[in-house]
C-alpha cells in the first residue's frame, strides 16, 4: 500500500530540518507523545552533504492481545535507517522491524521531503510504501498499520510544532 502524509509548520525549512535532526528532539518526543514508548538514536553521522541515522522507535501497541498472546511494545519496535541529503532536502528511509517474525512479513520504505511555503512556513511530506506479506489478511494489516502510522506522525508533528514554538 502506498501512503502520503503532509504536515505544515510555522517555521523555515532550515529551522525545521535543524530541529528534526538535532540531538534534543528525541527525548522531547518521547516525553510528550502518547503513541511512542521511546525513541533512541543508535547511530548518527554527518558531513557536508548528508546525515545518516539509525533510530530505534518503540511504539505503544495499537492492540493489547492477539488471542491469548500479549503484545509488548518491544515486539513492535523498529529501527529507522535513513539518509538525509542536505542539497535536495530529502530523506530516504527504511523502517526495519527488530522482531525477526515481523521483519520477514513487513517492509516499509519511503521518503520525507521538505519545501518552503513562504518565509516562515514549510511543509513536510512523508510518502512511501508499506507491504505486509500475509495471505488474505495482508491488505487489512497494511490498512491498520498505515492508520496507526498516520496517528503517530500527526502526533509527532503536533509535538514538534509545539517544541518549535517554545524554542523561538
Which pTM value belongs to this model? Answer: 0.90
Structural fold of domain 2-167: Alpha-D-Glucose-1,6-Bisphosphate; Chain A, domain 4 (3.30.530)
The beta-strand segments (E) located in the chain are 2-9, 36-46, 50-59, 65-66, 69-70, 78-85, 90-97, 106-116, 122-132
Domain residue ranges in the chain: 2-167
pLDDT 10s digits, 56-88 = 999 998 777 666 777 777 888 999 999 999 999
Q: What is the pLDDT of residues 84-100, one digit of tens each?
A: 999 999 999 999 999 99
Amino acid at each position: 500500500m502506498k501512503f502520503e502524509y503532509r504536515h505544515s509548520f510555522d517555521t523555515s525549512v532550515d529551522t525545521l530540518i535543524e530541529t528534526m535532526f538535532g540531538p534534543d528532539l528525541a527525548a522531547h518526543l518521547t516525553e510528550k507523545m502518547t503513541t511512542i514508548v521511546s525513541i533512541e538514536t543508535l547511530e548518527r553521522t554527518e558531513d557536508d552533504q548528508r546525515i545518516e541515522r539509525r533510530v530505534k522507535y518503540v511504539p505503544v501497541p495499537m492492540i493489547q492481545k492477539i488471542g491469548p498472546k500479549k503484545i509488548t511494545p518491544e515486539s513492535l519496535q523498529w529501527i529507522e535507517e535513513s539518509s538525509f541529503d542536505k542539497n535536495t532536502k530529502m530523506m530516504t528511509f527504511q523502517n526495519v522491524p527488530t522482531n525477526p517474525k515481523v521483519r520477514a512479513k513487513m517492509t516499509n520504505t519511503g521518503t520525507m521531503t521538505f519545501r518552503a511555503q513562504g518565509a516562515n512556513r514549510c511543509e513536510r511530506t512523508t510518502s512511501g510504501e508499506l507491504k505486509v506479506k500475509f495471505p488474505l489478511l495482508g491488505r487489512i494489516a497494511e490498512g491498520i498499520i498505515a492508520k496507526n502510522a498516520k496517528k503517530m506522525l500527526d502526533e509527532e508533528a503536533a509535538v514538534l510544532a509545539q517544541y518549535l514554538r517554545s524554542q523561538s
